[in-house]
Amino acid sequence: MSTLTRGAIRDRLFETKDLKIKPLLEPESQIEDAAVNLTLGTRFIVAKKSEYSIIDPHELDAEEVANFQEKITLAFGQTIVLHPHQFALGATFEFLKLPPNLSAFVLTRSSFGRAGLQIATATYVHPNWQGCLTLELQNLGEVPIKLYCGSPICQLVLQEAQPPLEQKPLKSIPVGPAFADLKNQSYWKYLDNFIPPPTHT
């Protein structure tokens, strides 16, 4: 499994065109030696803390979780402030479509990481995936960070995936941050057998 470097990335983007990263606002600076810088999009989801009880994946589906969330849309260039230990969902401004034979990792750009920002905890992107990547933004530092929509906060490292995977129907094509439906998952079929019934006093 090899990492794609600048020439190979450009080749996939502009020659074979099977890799899509749209838009590339500044291709020259965004395509680095072995990664592509991605920028922060304009849509966010933050928790309405005062209304939250608990996220229980067993009890709440994505629709119900949405009741405890606030969706924020900003204009490109506007800012969102992330306070110490605050968590928010954001998304890349760029829309990606990976071909069947490429997978990717999303990493925080070190310059932002040093300011305390972490952009993702689930960093792997499967072959054939398409959409704007949801970023799990968290300020691990001690002081608030102002994030500008459009700033290059993360990078995509692309890798060959062999053998190529067949394209399956898509569950969604997100263009902004998306909260996963934790309730309607197949693993509950076996896990339910082990979960004790709720006790009432």
Partner 1 sequence: MPQPVISAEQYSLLVRERIAALRQLRLGLIRGAPQSAPHRFFDSIRILIGAIEKVFTNRSEDIKSQSISEVEKDNKIAFAARLTLKLLNDVQEQLFPFLEKLGSPHVPLAVLPAMQRIASEFETDVELYLFPASEHNFGFSGFRNLTRTFIQKFELIIPDDLKAEIQKEAEKLPSWFVFLSFPYVVHDSALHLTPLLHELGHFADFERGIYKELLPIDVSGIEAADKLVDKICQMPLSQQGPKAESSQEPSVEARVGQILQREVIAQQVFAQCSEVIHSWVHELISDLFALRMVGPAYFYAFATFAGTVGLEAKAEKTHPSPAIRIDFMVKELKELGYFSEDSSEQVRSSLKGWENWIQTQKLEPEDDIALVAHLAMKENATKLANAVRKHSPQFSYEAETFVAKVPCVTADLDAGIPPIDRPSVHKGVLEPCGFADILNGAWTTYMFSPERLESLLDCRVEERKLRAVSVLNELVLKAIEASEILRRCQKPPEAKA
Q: Which residues bind partner 1 (CB under 8 A)?
A: 10, 14, 20, 22-26, 42, 71-76, 78-79, 93, 95, 97, 130, 132, 150, 168-173, 175-176
Write down the least CB distance from residue 123 to partner 1, Å.
23
Phi/psi of residue 100, nearest 5 degrees: -65, -20
Active site residues: 136
H helical segments located in 24-153: 27-30, 62-65, 110-113
Nearer to partner 1, 11 or 160 (CB): 11
Write down the least CB distance from residue 201 to partner 1, Å.
41
The C-alpha atoms of residue 27 and residue 3 are separated, in whole angstroms, by 19
Query: Cis (ω within 30 of 0) for the bond into 163?
Result: yes
Rg (CA), the chain: 19
Nearer to partner 1, 71 or 83 (CB): 71
Nearer to partner 1, 162 or 172 (CB): 172
Write down the least CB distance from residue 114 to partner 1, Å.
26
Phi/psi of residue 80, nearest 5 degrees: -130, 135
Nearer to partner 1, 72 or 140 (CB): 72
- For 152, other C-beta atoms within 10 Å of its C-beta total 22
Write down the least CB distance from residue 87 to partner 1, Å.
20
